[in-house]
Amino acid sequence: MKKSILFTIIIYFLFQFNTLVFADDFMELLSKATNAYKSGNYATALLYYDKVVKQYPDNTGAHAILGTLYLEQYEDYPKAIESFSNAIKYNPKEASNYTYRGIARMKLGDTDGAATDLTKAISINNQNRTPEALPYCTRALVYSIIGKYQESILDTTNAIKIQPKYPEAFHYRGLAKLNVAASQKSTTGVNDAIKDLNFAKEQCLQLGNMEEYQNVMKSYRMATSVLELLNKGAIK
């Protein structure tokens, strides 16, 4: 997952610029950075990409790659935000930079900033007629964090329309439905939530995503406990 995100940005980076306008040292730096990342040497990759942005500060792709490294490999969210902000400064029409900056802001607990960035990403994608599931799914998680469960259900449903076998979307929708159902003391609603969580489990197993599978299992166990309590009349 982490490598796929980074190399999506690298492909965008390579096609965005005509390499003929750059000196040989630029292409050498880029090659070394990419090879370092492929070999798992993230510290070296970070060093080389940092050199690229220092020599070519208006190069949005390099800023975005740096941001992704900070976000995915180092979990240095302030640095990730700074890098994606620089990418946005030079190219404010690239939706993915808002998406990943929104994720970094969410990780820091800035739910307002995260929701704003993710809404911007969704708007750009829709304007370009290239909708993506990730910003919808991430904004749904933000909405759940702040207790906006109906909005979370709507966003995850939109994500599922775009990507019908997206385990995280079914997971987050199941959790949002569970919160609504528990507040309404609705066993029907809890069963509906469990249905989403079961589908998320199946998709995780098919994809081999065991980390998310364990997360879904925790939510599933919580949902079945809520259902048991409701059936016993223990939730007042």
Q: Is-contact 114 106, C-beta < 8 A? A: yes
Structure tokens at 14: 């390579």
Nearest C-alpha neighbor of 32 from the set 8, 51, 19, 16:
51
**pLDDT one-digit tens code per residue, 179-227:** 999 999 999 999 999 999 999 999 999 999 999 999 999 999 999 999 9
Asked whether the predicted pLDDT for residue 18 surpasses 70, the reply is: no
- CA separation for the pair 132, 134 (Å, rounded): 6
Dihedral sign from CA coordinates of 60, 162, 106, 221: negative
Residue written as tokens 């220092």? Answer: 54
Q: Is-contact 70 15, C-beta < 8 A? A: no
Mean pLDDT, rounded, for 49-58 = 88
Q: How confident is the model at residue 38 (pLDDT cuts 50, 70, 90)?
A: confident
Average of per-residue pLDDT values in the chain: 90
Mean pLDDT, rounded, for 17-42 = 72
Answering whether pTM is above 0.95, one says no
Q: How confident is the model at residue 6 (pLDDT cuts 50, 70, 90)?
A: low
Mean pLDDT, rounded, for 75-81 = 98
**pLDDT one-digit tens code per residue, 104-113:** 999 999 999 9
**pLDDT value for 3:** 44
Nearest C-alpha neighbor of 96 from the set 57, 138, 58, 59:
138
